[in-house]
Amino acid sequence: MSDTELVYRFVNKDEHKAITHLHGRYAHLLVGLCYKYLGDMDTAKDATQQIFIKLLSDLNRFEIQSFKPWLYQVARNHCLMIIRKNGQHKTVEFQGMADVESDEDFHRRVEKEKLYVKMEAAINSLANEQRECIQLFYFKKMTYAEIVEKTGLDYMKVKSAIQNGKRNLKSLLGVEINQ
């Protein structure tokens, strides 16, 4: 359902489930927007909830042509009100809706974060030599020779640890590990 349809259902048919759908679509984006203004994640989450509570009355009072830009303006004004109320004089550079990540960007970032968590667990499950060599090679960008010097392992042991670690990670993650 479109935003316009959901707003219509809430305002004209008193369907409160429509607000739940709008919240699901936009809450994470508003948290990001509020965080840009307020600089604190807990305050941003609280502000987002306050904005959605405010929407319950505002949607009935205003004729909204384009919901998403209107919602961002409401959120921006709400954040500025909080900043003024708290006596903060924080300068925020905001480029409009371009600064707010899209749903697709958010979901891609979530998936990437899940992969990082899975990768970290997989790396931690490697044998000590493999884990150390993999971390030095891939994350510290050290050469085999630098790893030999740092770890005291011989060249062939380092090479073997990286190759076996890479193969084990590939197996654990089910993905291709590139240099």
pLDDT in tens, 2-31: 888 888 888 888 778 888 888 888 899 899
The model scores a pTM over 0.85: no
What is the arithmetic mean of pLDDT over 129-137? 92
Average pLDDT over residues 101-125: 70
Residue range 62-85, pLDDT digits in tens: 788 888 888 888 899 898 888 888
Q: Report the pLDDT value the prediction gives residue 106, as an integer from 0 to 100.
A: 55
pLDDT at residue 33 is higher than 80: yes
CB atoms under 10 Å from CB of 142, counted, come to 18
On the question of pLDDT at 156 being above 80, the answer is: yes
More confident of the two residues 54 and 112: 54
pLDDT band for 105, please (50, 70, 90 cuts). Answer: low
- Domains of the chain from N-terminus onward: 3-99 (1.10.1740.10), 103-173 (1.10.10.10)
